[in-house]
């Protein structure tokens, strides 16, 4: 499933994308990790392959490796027409756009005249838990409202419906008059803020300026927000996420990763003009299908040196960090069944990130993929160099990025260890408490990025909240972090010296965690309220450690921030250059805004044989039985007792070549008639490298099949009311 692509890289990457889009600084840079160990220094980049000439993309054949996440204001109609013999008209596009909604961190769609909304189970899990009565847990047990009055309002859920898109690039650019980079950024951000404010007040809409092509283009996205959203139906998590962590990001799959919500307006079900009708036939092999949704973040415009940094520095360190944290959590979980339950979610979340990053890294280590990236970049730079104007504006961007990446590489280890990344909550508290007085005294724009505006408020909130700290876990995490630091840093490193004081990592961690008072919210609040003076006076050993490291740490963090600014600014130039050279024929990187991707329902070669385009309910029971119904392969009781009601050959999940990524969770899959044939919930393992270069030989999007949804609603959940509404057999929701 896209779960973690969504749950995790969504939380991080989409957050980052939104933030960066808002500031106009979307660098496409993958979010920095909690990993703490550096890999080897970046290898010198291999010489650029003498490239075969790359064809300039045309409407009929865009450069495939940039994928198919098209914006609704630039659909590749001629290409679709040439490829599929199908070019939707504007009414089709408008209808589909209006039927697609964005919900927190995910995608969704309106699928009945009465405002039913279809999304993934994992996209509404918070709501499903929150509306559960005290005596039962709908996440575990499932839920299907028997009537409208039984539908449960979700406390924090909203749905944004995209009303219009307007190109505001000229206005944003026109507002930038300064020459100093810092001032330029401020002028641009102020103008973006102004545009958003004006839009919101004049139209009563939720407005957002989105940066595309790493700043090559700015568009104003206007949304209507619905905020009365109610839970209609959610299956048991064990069937929604059947196969659990092992099967996550893979196919063949057997998940009913579905939740149905309903939009209410003025206390009544939405009377939807634009909704997606349900296909009785559902997805079949070789069908052309479209996916609408909000992909969160891709890195397809990243330069080769940026990819090499990810490959050689960031991802290896991230993976080493995950491995260390997982070792600690698994050790703790093995101590008792209770501990196993307690750490289950954290372990899943980390294992999931580990799997995703392993997949990304495999892509970057694939010599074919990198050779194609190099060939494209060489061609692109040649085209820029051939035009004196382009050369003057953009020609230096790649080398500037490469130089910054090289310096980042040289700083990476110190930045990681001195930044206290690595999973110890107490160490993070200490670093923040020491730094907040200093940073908050500066004007916002001069602070380190993590200490600006709302981020600082959130940090203060977390510091003063009453969250229990698990001392045993802290000791193990701190010890593993110190052991790694000992291996990677020189013995005279000030962090190492201050942290160890001549002790072994285990003894030092034991002492620091036992003696610190930072586990108490009151103690943290006192330090926060006491400001610089309190921090200076504190004898807490972790505060002392943070104080000792901070001066050096601050220098490095400032330098890293500066280098990231250089990379962002030059990435923006690269984005403008892409736009100048190739126009809108290349879809921009994902930005958690609405896209439409074309694809085909299709099996693929896998492990020496063929993966079928679909699975069936038989497959669900087969996979469960192969593992003796154990662990992640246990089927919920309802699915055992009602098994014989099912038509076992009903299509259940299927794959297609659509271009999706975290944030697309909950996207509808529709046919040419804009009818729902499926529900996206994951990509296969082979699709992970699509983050950087799109391929569709074996990469696939994974969906729940529309026929599987109806079969499950009717046979398992006695939810004929809902199935009828989806199938249009009832006039309305009432």
Residues making contact with its own copies (CB under 8 A): 243, 246-247, 249-250, 252, 355, 359, 606-610, 612, 614-616, 618-619, 621-623, 625-627, 648-649, 684-686
Nearer to its own copies, 222 or 623 (CB): 623
Task: Take residue 555 and report the two structure tokens written for it.
Answer: 């220098």
Task: Check if the beta carbon of residue 255 is closer than 8 Å to that of residue 635.
Answer: no
- Name the minimum Å distance from CB 69 to its own copies: 23
Closest CA to 221 of 235, 200, 244: 200
- Name the minimum Å distance from CB 605 to its own copies: 9
Buried residues in 301-312 as b, exposed as e (16+ CB within 10 A): bbbbbbbbbbbb
- Name the minimum Å distance from CB 469 to its own copies: 34
Nearer to its own copies, 243 or 422 (CB): 243
Nearer to its own copies, 56 or 286 (CB): 286
Nearer to its own copies, 262 or 614 (CB): 614
Task: Check if the beta carbon of residue 396 is closer than 8 Å to that of residue 574.
Answer: no
Nearer to its own copies, 482 or 688 (CB): 688
**In a 3-state reduction of DSSP, which class is residue 103?**
strand
Task: Check if the beta carbon of residue 254 is closer than 8 Å to that of residue 725.
Answer: no
| Whole-Å CA distances, 511 to 181, 369, 452, 519, 521 | 46, 48, 33, 14, 20
Task: Check if the beta carbon of residue 126 is closer than 8 Å to that of residue 156.
Answer: yes
- Name the minimum Å distance from CB 91 to its own copies: 35
- Name the minimum Å distance from CB 675 to its own copies: 21
| Whole-Å CA distances, 26 to 573, 601, 660 | 12, 33, 19
Query: In the 8-state DSSP scheme, what is residue 614?
Result: E
Phi first, then psi: give them for residue 483, nearest 5 degrees: -60, -45
Please report where in the chains the tokens 């923040």 appear, as a residue: 432
Nearer to its own copies, 521 or 606 (CB): 606
- Identify any residues that bridge with 291 across adjacent strands, giving them in sequence order: 597, 669
- Name the minimum Å distance from CB 626 to its own copies: 4
Nearer to its own copies, 204 or 246 (CB): 246
Q: 321: how many CB neighbours lie within 10 A of its CB?
A: 26
- Identify any residues that bridge with 598 across adjacent strands, giving them in sequence order: 290
Nearer to its own copies, 170 or 626 (CB): 626
Task: Take residue 160 and report the two structure tokens written for it.
Answer: 């944004």
**What DSSP string runs through 374-403?**
HHHHHHHHHHHHHSHHHHHHHTTHHHHHHH
Task: Check if the beta carbon of residue 285 is closer than 8 Å to that of residue 601.
Answer: yes
- Name the minimum Å distance from CB 616 to its own copies: 4
Task: Check if the beta carbon of residue 36 is closer than 8 Å to that of residue 554.
Answer: no
- Name the minimum Å distance from CB 694 to its own copies: 19
First to last CA, the chain: 33
Three-state SS sequence of 183-244? HHHHHHHHHHHHHHHHHHHHHCCEEEEEEEHHHCEEEEEEEEEECEEEEEEECCHHHHCCCH
Nearer to its own copies, 419 or 683 (CB): 683
What does the alpha-carbon distance between residue 574 and residue 394 come to, in Å, rounded to a whole number?
7
Nearer to its own copies, 216 or 359 (CB): 359
Phi first, then psi: give them for residue 553, nearest 5 degrees: -55, -45
- Name the minimum Å distance from CB 634 to its own copies: 14
- Name the minimum Å distance from CB 226 to its own copies: 37
Nearer to its own copies, 647 or 673 (CB): 647
- Name the minimum Å distance from CB 629 to its own copies: 9
For 546: left if phi > 0, alpha if psi spans -120 to 50, otherwise beta; the answer is: alpha
Task: Check if the beta carbon of residue 665 is closer than 8 Å to that of residue 119.
Answer: yes
Nearer to its own copies, 514 or 641 (CB): 641
Q: Is the dihedral of CA 30, 33, 39, 40 positive or negative?
A: positive
Task: Take residue 648 and report the two structure tokens written for it.
Answer: 């076992």
Closest CA to 2 of 286, 262, 329, 240: 240
What does the alpha-carbon distance between residue 359 and residue 380 come to, in Å, rounded to a whole number?
27
- Name the minimum Å distance from CB 685 to its own copies: 3
Task: Take residue 519 and report the two structure tokens written for it.
Answer: 């586990």
Nearer to its own copies, 189 or 686 (CB): 686
Close Cβ partners of 708 (under 8 Å, ≥ 6 residues apart) = 256, 617, 650, 651, 652, 653
Nearer to its own copies, 368 or 536 (CB): 368
What does the alpha-carbon distance between residue 720 and residue 146 come to, in Å, rounded to a whole number?
9
Nearer to its own copies, 357 or 384 (CB): 357
Task: Check if the beta carbon of residue 494 is closer than 8 Å to that of residue 552.
Answer: yes
- Name the minimum Å distance from CB 330 to its own copies: 17
Nearer to its own copies, 264 or 692 (CB): 692
- Name the minimum Å distance from CB 32 to its own copies: 25
Nearer to its own copies, 210 or 326 (CB): 326
What does the alpha-carbon distance between residue 394 and residue 389 come to, in Å, rounded to a whole number?
9
Task: Take residue 44 and report the two structure tokens written for it.
Answer: 């010198």
- Name the minimum Å distance from CB 310 to its own copies: 20
- Name the minimum Å distance from CB 633 to its own copies: 8
- Name the minimum Å distance from CB 48 to its own copies: 23
Rg (CA), the chain: 26
């Amino acid at each position: 499933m896209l779960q973690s692509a969504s749950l995790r890289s969504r939380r991080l990457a989409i957050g980052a994308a939104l933030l960066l889009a808002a500031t106009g600084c979307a660098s496409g840079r993958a979010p920095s990790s909690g990993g703490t160990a550096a890999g080897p220094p970046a290898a010198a980049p291999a010489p650029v392959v003498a490239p075969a000439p790359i064809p300039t993309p045309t409407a009929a054949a865009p450069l495939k490796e940039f994928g198919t996440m098209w914006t609704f204001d630039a659909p590749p109609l001629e290409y679709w027409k040439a490829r599929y013999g199908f070019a939707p008209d504007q009414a089709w596009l408008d209808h589909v756009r209006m039927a697609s909604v964005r919900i927190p961190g995910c995608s969704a769609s309106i699928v009945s005249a009465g405002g039913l909304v279809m999304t993934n189970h994992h996209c509404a899990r918070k709501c499903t838990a929150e509306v559960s009565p005290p005596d039962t847990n709908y996440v575990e047990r499932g839920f299907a409202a028997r009537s409208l009055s039984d539908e449960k309002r979700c406390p924090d859920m909203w749905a944004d419906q995209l009303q219009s898109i307007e190109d505001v690039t000229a206005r944003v650019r026109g507002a930038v008059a300064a020459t100093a980079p810092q001032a330029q950024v401020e002028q641009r951000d102020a103008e973006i803020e102004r545009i958003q404010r004006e839009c919101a007040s004049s139209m009563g809409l939720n407005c957002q300026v989105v940066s595309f092509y790493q700043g090559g283009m700015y568009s104003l996205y206007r949304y209507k927000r619905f905020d009365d959203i109610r839970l209609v139906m959610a299956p048991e998590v064990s069937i929604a996420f059947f196969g659990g962590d092992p099967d996550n990001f893979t196919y063949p799959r057997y998940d009913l990763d579905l939740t149905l919500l309903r939009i209410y307006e003025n206390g009544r079900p939405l009377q939807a003009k634009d909704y997606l009708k349900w296909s009785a036939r559902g997805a079949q092999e070789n069908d052309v299908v479209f996916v609408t949704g909000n992909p969160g973040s891709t890195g397809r415009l990243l330069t080769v040196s940026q990819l090499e940094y990810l490959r050689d520095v960031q991802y290896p360190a991230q993976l080493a960090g995950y491995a260390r944290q997982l070792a600690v959590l698994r050790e703790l979980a093995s101590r008792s069944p209770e501990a196993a339950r307690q750490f289950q979610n954290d372990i899943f979340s980390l294992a999931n990130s580990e799997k995703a990053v392993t997949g990304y890294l495999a892509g970057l280590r694939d010599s074919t993929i990198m050779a194609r990236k190099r060939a494209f970049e060489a061609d692109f730079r040649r085209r820029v160099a051939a035009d004196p104007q382009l050369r003057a504006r953009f020609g230096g961007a790649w080398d500037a990025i490469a130089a910054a990446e090289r310096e980042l590489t040289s700083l990476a280890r110190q930045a990681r260890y001195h930044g206290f990344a690595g999973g110890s909550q107490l160490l993070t508290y200490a670093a923040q408490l020491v730094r907040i007085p200093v940073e908050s005294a500066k004007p916002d724009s001069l602070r380190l990025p993590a200490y600006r505006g709302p981020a600082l408020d959130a940090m203060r909130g977390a510091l003063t909240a009453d969250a229990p700290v698990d001392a045993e876990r802290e000791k193990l995490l701190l010890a593993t972090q110190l052991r790694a630091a000992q291996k990677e840093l020189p013995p005279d490193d000030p962090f190492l010296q201050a942290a160890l004081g001549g002790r072994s990592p285990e003894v030092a961690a034991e002492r620091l965690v036992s003696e610190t008072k930072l586990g108490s919210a009151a103690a943290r609040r006192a330090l926060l309220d006491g400001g610089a003076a309190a921090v200076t006076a504190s004898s807490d050993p972790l505060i002392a450690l943070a104080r000792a490291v901070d001066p050096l740490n601050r220098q490095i963090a400032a330098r890293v921030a500066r280098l990231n600014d250089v990379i962002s600014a030059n990435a923006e130039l690269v984005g403008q250059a892409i736009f100048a050279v190739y126009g809108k024929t290349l879809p921009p990187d994902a930005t958690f805004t609405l896209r439409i991707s074309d694809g085909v329902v299709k099996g693929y070669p896998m492990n020496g044989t063929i993966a079928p385009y679909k699975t069936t309910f038989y497959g669900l029971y087969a996979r469960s039985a192969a593992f003796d119904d154990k662990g992640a392969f246990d089927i919920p009781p309802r699915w055992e007792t009602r098994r014989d009601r099912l038509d076992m050959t009903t299509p259940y999940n299927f794959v297609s070549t659509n271009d999706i990524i975290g944030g697309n969770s909950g996207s509808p899959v529709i046919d040419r008639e804009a009818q729902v044939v499926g529900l996206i919930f994951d990509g296969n393992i082979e699709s992970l490298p699509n983050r950087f270069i799109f391929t569709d030989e074996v990469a696939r999007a994974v969906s729940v099949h529309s026929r599987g949804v109806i079969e499950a609603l009717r046979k398992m959940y006695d939810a004929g009311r809902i199935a009828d509404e989806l199938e249009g057999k009832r006039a309305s929701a009432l």
